[in-house]
A and B are shown apart, each in its own frame.
Chain A
Amino acid sequence: MTEKTRTTYRDAVRSALREALSGDDRVFLMGEDVGRYGGAYACSHGLLAEFGEKRIRDTPLSESAFVGAGIGAALGGMRPIVEIMTVNFSLLALDQIVNNAATLRHMSGGQFSVPIVVRVATGGGRQLGAQHSHSLENWYAHIPGIKVLTPGTVTDARWMLGEALKDPDPVFIFEHALLYPVEDDIEEDRTAFDPWKAKVRRSGRDVSLITYGGSLHKCLNAAAELSADGIEAEVVDLRSLRPLDTGSILGSVSRTHRAVVVDEGWRTGSIAAEVMAQIMEGAFDELDVPVRRVCSEEVPMPYAKHLEDAALPQPEKIVAAVKEMF
């Protein structure tokens, strides 16, 4: 099967939601402005009319309350999909997420599971200032008991939600807000679709660019530029931050002997730092130069366009980091 459908990332998310809602009566969508407004990023536009108020539920501006309600519904046998407008706001619900969702299977001795899916918009680059632009998905990837997916392509946006709903435990899906208008082909064949494995998006022999989500396209652009200079970069899309597909990371580094990890989170304590640690533990003997990372500058995200651009990882920074390795 090589059938392909061209669509935007946003429409792919909406198709995934529609499929989930049609296929299982236990599924419902809940969050701020998901109903009448159609979602802050229009992912649920039209779904209220299609599925009604019981299944597309607008909530008060209280992340702790509606994430908590979602956890309760999941415990009660439902399959809630909770949307949080930005990852910065999700911090209000951290107690529900860390102390309840992530722990109840353990604390009940395996009697309860919490099959909730939480969709969260993340990332900067849209001039929304320091309270709406951060990339905190690595905080969630730190927590045992939940899983973290980061669709970086339209195909992943289309199919990851369905796989997340099959999981008996809490799954977080981080959607980089810059990706919503991106248009691409969906690979319709999902028989081999596995959201928990990293994917090589571009093969190359000289250096591995390891990344996910919103930084994937920056890495692909950097790889194209490097190729013009005779450096063939392999781009590895992590896709799942927890569990992390360490085997694929080590495999790529073993082929190229050089790695740059690109992550929009702040450098200190980033996912990039974790990937680097995995490489040191598992592929030390394969390294020909120290591993590098390109992360966000350690400042609250600036509002001014030129400063925001300067604070974020960019293809030029990736190219420069790679060139310093040769």
Chain B
Amino acid sequence: MAEFRMPSLGADMTAGTLIGWMKGVGERVSRGDIIAEVDTDKGVIEVEVFTDGVIDKLLIEPGSKVPVGTVLAIIDEESPTDEDKQSSNSQGTSAVSEPTRLPRERAVSTGRRLASPAARKLAESLGIDLTKIEGTGPKGRIQLGDVQSAAKILNATSSEAVARIDSKTDRSARMRAAIASAMTRSKREIPHYYLHTTIDLTRALEWLDAENTGRAIKDRILYNVLLIKAVAIALRDVPELNGSWEDGRLNINESVNIGVAISVRQGGLAAPALFEADKKSLGQLMLELRDLVERTRASALRSSELSEPTITVTSLGDQNVETVFGVIYPPQVALVGFGKIIERPMIVDGTVQPRQLINATLSADHRASDGHRGGSFLSAIVRVLQEPEKL
């Protein structure tokens, strides 16, 4: 039996409202299927399932708001389909279901929740309610590891901040609160360092113009996609910027899932993932980016898109911004900001020439990487963008 839980769809999410079930009891589901719709601060998200099996029980009624980590449904991974049942019966055997695991017996209640001092301290600093955590230590004592795994589920959001937001408050206020919580955590916990460089995009833009003339208008590629792809490829040189900082250590992610910051019209933003951006063609990335923008604005993102970005790219070029100094989205360890493309004089081969220049900024977590490596990363972006035909 597998438990399907309310997922965390970002560092700022502590609870979600189940809008509806997309599958019913007895239906077979496989990894990646949309099983439910959940309303979050970021809009209605289609939630995917990560196990193959048959839905055994649906535990939560649509309309209920439950904390992240709450079991929503039970999926029977073993259960054979009707056909399987018939065939197995004909062989004279019957499927033996795994014995249901009994809940861990609680220690004799003394009216006081047993928790180690270190666990109490961490829970307090993260705003986690100890009564909601199950202890795995002796006598059911809550230990550091229990709080850390609870924090992982809750993604360490201050429950206080969320509690203050009435569930009836409108979405943009809730999104504001969610952003506030994530950004506060970022600036509180992450020692940012910033590196900045100016990139000559002249060649890349010329190449892109030529490339686009052969394409139908709807298939034309925006320069933003070049930048995203360049970031993705540059991460191969400096993988320590692609991942997360959790439990005091860096986890480098093998897939490059670029979170693209997309502003929402009513205010606020989301940064859903373009998965494995380093391996996709520019045309494919353009299609996916367009789809992502539309669904972000229509509040129809998928859970994995919100929970699995490994780095964020933000571009404020259309806002007349020359340089972006971004705030990292925890638990990620880096963010790349691009400003506006500006035509400026530049000395090339000894002569002054008009060139198309863009400012790129790296905000990186100094716990996870150092300036030297950050510099190598920016150099790699510059290099990759000088050979646009290879993108």
In the complex formed, the residue of B with least CB distance to A290 is B116
- Number of residue pairs spanning A and B whose beta carbons lie under 8 angstroms apart: 23
Minimum Cβ distance to chain B for residue A178 (Å): 35
Asked whether any CB of chain B lies closer than 8 Å to the CB of A287, the reply is yes
With a cutoff of 8 Å between Cβ atoms, the chain B residues found around residue A284 in the complex are 117
B 100-157 contacts with A by CB, 8 A: 116-121, 137, 143-144
Check if B121 sits within 8 Å of A289, measured CB to CB. Answer: no
Most buried by A among B117, B119, B137, B144: B117
Check if B120 sits within 8 Å of A289, measured CB to CB. Answer: no
Cα–Cα distance between A284 and B120 once the two chains are bound (Å): 11
Chain A, residues 266-292, CB within 8 Å of chain B (1/0): the string is 000000000000000000111111000
Check if B137 sits within 8 Å of A286, measured CB to CB. Answer: no
Asked whether any CB of chain B lies closer than 8 Å to the CB of A79, the reply is no
With a cutoff of 8 Å between Cβ atoms, the chain A residues found around residue B144 in the complex are 257, 288
Cα–Cα distance between A78 and B117 once the two chains are bound (Å): 52
For A, the interface residue count at a CB cutoff of 8 angstroms equals 7
In the complex formed, the residue of A with least CB distance to B248 is A205
With a cutoff of 8 Å between Cβ atoms, the chain A residues found around residue B121 in the complex are 285-286
Main secondary structure of the interface of A (DSSP, over half): loop
Check if A288 sits within 8 Å of B120, measured CB to CB. Answer: no
With a cutoff of 8 Å between Cβ atoms, the chain A residues found around residue B119 in the complex are 288
With a cutoff of 8 Å between Cβ atoms, the chain B residues found around residue A287 in the complex are 116-118
Cα–Cα distance between A285 and B121 once the two chains are bound (Å): 6
Chain A, residues 282-310, CB within 8 Å of chain B (1/0): the string is 00111111000000000000000000000
Cα–Cα distance between A284 and B137 once the two chains are bound (Å): 18
B 9-32 contacts with A by CB, 8 A: none
With a cutoff of 8 Å between Cβ atoms, the chain B residues found around residue A257 in the complex are 116, 118, 144
Cα–Cα distance between A107 and B37 once the two chains are bound (Å): 82
A 228-257 contacts with B by CB, 8 A: 257
In the complex formed, the residue of B with least CB distance to A284 is B117
Cα–Cα distance between A288 and B146 once the two chains are bound (Å): 11
With a cutoff of 8 Å between Cβ atoms, the chain B residues found around residue A285 in the complex are 117-118, 120-121
Cα–Cα distance between A289 and B120 once the two chains are bound (Å): 12
In the complex formed, the residue of A with least CB distance to B142 is A288
Chain B, residues 226-255, CB within 8 Å of chain A (1/0): the string is 000000000000000000000000000000
Cα–Cα distance between A174 and B388 once the two chains are bound (Å): 72
With a cutoff of 8 Å between Cβ atoms, the chain A residues found around residue B117 in the complex are 284-288
Cα–Cα distance between A284 and B144 once the two chains are bound (Å): 13
Minimum Cβ distance to chain B for residue A46 (Å): 54
In the complex formed, the residue of B with least CB distance to A324 is B138
With a cutoff of 8 Å between Cβ atoms, the chain A residues found around residue B116 in the complex are 257, 287-289
Most buried by A among B118, B119, B121: B118
Cα–Cα distance between A287 and B117 once the two chains are bound (Å): 6
With a cutoff of 8 Å between Cβ atoms, the chain B residues found around residue A288 in the complex are 116-119, 143-144
Cα–Cα distance between A257 and B137 once the two chains are bound (Å): 14
Cα–Cα distance between A288 and B116 once the two chains are bound (Å): 5
Minimum Cβ distance to chain B for residue A207 (Å): 12
With a cutoff of 8 Å between Cβ atoms, the chain A residues found around residue B137 in the complex are 289
With a cutoff of 8 Å between Cβ atoms, the chain B residues found around residue A289 in the complex are 116, 137, 143
In the complex formed, the residue of B with least CB distance to A286 is B118
Cα–Cα distance between A287 and B121 once the two chains are bound (Å): 10
Minimum Cβ distance to chain B for residue A290 (Å): 9
With a cutoff of 8 Å between Cβ atoms, the chain A residues found around residue B118 in the complex are 257, 285-288
Minimum Cβ distance to chain B for residue A322 (Å): 15
Minimum Cβ distance to chain A for residue B136 (Å): 11
Minimum Cβ distance to chain A for residue B214 (Å): 57
Minimum Cβ distance to chain A for residue B144 (Å): 4
Cα–Cα distance between A288 and B148 once the two chains are bound (Å): 12
Cα–Cα distance between A121 and B116 once the two chains are bound (Å): 40
Chain A, residues 207-240, CB within 8 Å of chain B (1/0): the string is 0000000000000000000000000000000000
In the complex formed, the residue of A with least CB distance to B144 is A288
Cα–Cα distance between A240 and B275 once the two chains are bound (Å): 57
Minimum Cβ distance to chain B for residue A214 (Å): 31
In the complex formed, the residue of B with least CB distance to A257 is B118
Cα–Cα distance between A257 and B116 once the two chains are bound (Å): 10
Minimum Cβ distance to chain B for residue A133 (Å): 35
Q: Beyond A285-B118, A289-B143: 11 further Cβ-contacts under 8 Å? A: A284-B117, A285-B117, A285-B120, A285-B121, A286-B118, A286-B121, A287-B118, A288-B118, A288-B119, A288-B144, A289-B137
Q: Lowest 9 CB-CB distances: which A-B pairs, in order?
A: A288-B118, A288-B144, A285-B121, A288-B116, A257-B118, A285-B117, A287-B117, A284-B117, A288-B143
Q: Which residues of A contact B (CB under 8 A)?
A: 257, 284-289
Q: List 23 A-B contacts (CB under 8 A).
A: A257-B116, A257-B118, A257-B144, A284-B117, A285-B117, A285-B118, A285-B120, A285-B121, A286-B117, A286-B118, A286-B121, A287-B116, A287-B117, A287-B118, A288-B116, A288-B117, A288-B118, A288-B119, A288-B143, A288-B144, A289-B116, A289-B137, A289-B143
